[in-house]
Amino acid sequence: MAELGAHLTAPPADGGGGQRPSVFEAVAQESLTAALRPALRHLAKVLAESNPGRLGWLWRWFDEAYAVLDLLLQQHYLATCSASFSENFYSLKRVPLRGRQGPAPAAAGLPKKQHWRSLLLLVLVPYLKGKLERLVASLREEDEYSIHPPSSSWKRFYRAFLAAYPFVLMSWEGWFLVQQLCYILGKAQHHSPLLRLAGVRLVRLTAEDIQSLERKVPVPTSGQAHSITTRVQSAARRALGGIAFSLSSGLAVCVFFLQFLDWWYSSENQETIKSLTALPTPPPPLHLNHGEGSVLLPKLKTLCPLCRKVRVNATALSTSGFVFCYRCIYGYVKAHQRCPVTGYATELQHLVKLYSPES
């Protein structure tokens, strides 16, 4: 059985001069990209809640800020390594689908057409998909509490949109699944349709690629050395490259921590944590005082146990949980320092005012 499935983890070298990565490597680099966004979103939420006045914009404009960050990061890696951030992390690179010659070194970059296609698909597609998912979620929530009459054209439109969205999403995910199955069976050169649209495929980095990346140092020509415009452009390019390199280095170091945060705050893990740490519902308090001074509870829950009338200005005792009129329980606790029902030791600071929706 292991021999029959060996081709899944040990793909053959393709005819284009590079070894094709296994499907597990391809899916792993995509999962790395998918883990960054929710982890950074949670970080932005924590920062915004800690200082809403200064950092609130970080949460409100998170999608746009992340898109700019992703644009800088992917542009840096595509220009210097012929790969996206996650692909370079797994020692992969992109090469054109139809190349007359063998693949160029990774440090040479992609042709302009494939470069800009790759950058557009890497940044724009996740941004639009995230926006669409939040739009659908908001429309579903609005549909539950909508005030539009059933015959309005707007309501018919977005109800049709909500009805069609699951089928569109299923078709999109099915397209990716079929492409991955073809890649596993060796019928396709790429595991993702987005790679096909970009006109590239993935191969593993070779020893020559690694050496070319280590030797790549930008050196300005002598004719451009004294041009002010060229200096400004070069300084701006170096600054953007430095920012992208710093971000990529920081993300590379923290990538496993971000994946841990994504797992920790996932809904499945939170349900498991709650099931393990949730305390059982406490039983009703026992009546410790059964003497003449103890108060019996009235049959009607709206009555005060002390005055036997409908509660006015309802106040609870945090030590026992029972509710009384404020005047009644204030005088009783001040005089006896205990709960009139359970006999628990109680002070005035244990009185808690209760507010109803009507108030």
Query: Does 232 fall in a domain?
Result: no
Length of the chain in residues, anyone?
Answer: 359
Cα angle value 61/64/66 (rounded, 5°):
105
The answer on 313 and 197 residing in a single domain is: no
Residues in a beta bridge with 338: 345
- Write b or e for each residue in 288-321: b if 16 or more Cβ atoms lie within 10 A of its Cβ, otherwise e: eeeeeeebeeeeeeebbbbeeeebeebbbbebbe
Nearest to 161 by CA among 194, 138, 127, 130: 138
The answer on 308 and 212 residing in a single domain is: no
Helices (H), 185-294: 193-198, 207-215, 228-264, 267-277
Q: Inter-axis angle of helices 112-144 and 153-184, to 10 degrees?
A: 140
At which residue do the structure tokens 């949109």 appear?
A: 161
Whole-number CA gyration radius for the chain? 32
The answer on 184 and 39 residing in a single domain is: yes
- Could you tell me if 302 and 310 are in contact, meaning their C-beta atoms sit under 8 angstroms apart? yes
- Could you tell me if 289 and 308 are in contact, meaning their C-beta atoms sit under 8 angstroms apart? no
The answer on 182 and 317 residing in a single domain is: no
pLDDT of residue 273: 62
Q: Per-residue pLDDT for the chain (359 aa), expressed as one digit of tens each?
A: 444 444 454 455 454 445 888 888 888 888 877 777 877 888 888 888 878 788 888 888 888 888 888 888 888 888 888 888 888 888 888 888 875 556 677 777 788 888 899 989 999 988 988 888 888 887 776 666 554 555 566 667 777 877 888 888 898 888 888 988 888 888 888 888 888 888 888 888 888 877 777 776 444 444 444 467 667 766 666 666 666 566 556 655 565 666 666 666 665 666 666 665 565 665 665 555 555 566 778 888 889 989 989 888 899 998 888 899 999 999 999 998 888 888 888 888 889 988 876 65
> 172: part of which helix (H) or strand (E)?
helix 153-184
The answer on 327 and 205 residing in a single domain is: no
Cα–Cα distance for residue pair 3/237, rounded to 1 Å: 51
User: End of a domain among 171, 190, 217?
Assistant: 217
Query: Does 270 fall in a domain?
Result: no
At which residue do the structure tokens 């302009």 appear?
A: 112
Cα–Cα distance for residue pair 226/105, rounded to 1 Å: 31
The answer on 308 and 205 residing in a single domain is: no
The answer on 158 and 43 residing in a single domain is: yes
Residue type, 181: L
Query: Does 349 fall in a domain?
Result: yes
The answer on 305 and 187 residing in a single domain is: no
Nearest to 62 by CA among 86, 35, 37, 85: 37
The answer on 55 and 172 residing in a single domain is: yes
The answer on 178 and 45 residing in a single domain is: yes
Query: Does 93 fall in a domain?
Result: yes
Q: What range defines the domain where residue 318 resides?
A: 299-353
E strands, 107-179, where?
none
Total domain count for the chain?
A: 2
pLDDT of residue 14: 53
Domain with 311 in it: what CATH number? 3.30.40.10
Cα–Cα distance for residue pair 68/80, rounded to 1 Å: 18
Query: Does 291 fall in a domain?
Result: no
User: Measuring CA to CA, how many Å separate 47 from each of 52, 62, 93, 247, 256?
Assistant: 8, 12, 35, 18, 20
At which residue do the structure tokens 């009139």 appear?
A: 340
Query: Does 277 fall in a domain?
Result: no
Query: Does 280 fall in a domain?
Result: no
Predicted TM-score of the model (pTM): 0.57
Residue type, 211: Q
14 phi, psi to nearest 5 deg: -80, 170
End-to-end alpha-carbon separation of the chain, Å? Answer: 71
pLDDT of residue 27: 84
Query: Does 187 fall in a domain?
Result: yes
Handedness of CA 150, 151, 153, 159 (dihedral sign): positive
User: End of a domain among 170, 201, 217?
Assistant: 217
Residues 68-71: contacts with CB within 8 Å, 24+ apart? 69/247, 70/122, 70/123, 70/126, 70/127, 71/119, 71/123
At which residue do the structure tokens 């099915």 appear?
A: 174
The answer on 75 and 179 residing in a single domain is: yes
> 354: part of which helix (H) or strand (E)?
none
pLDDT of residue 332: 92
User: End of a domain among 195, 217, 239?
Assistant: 217
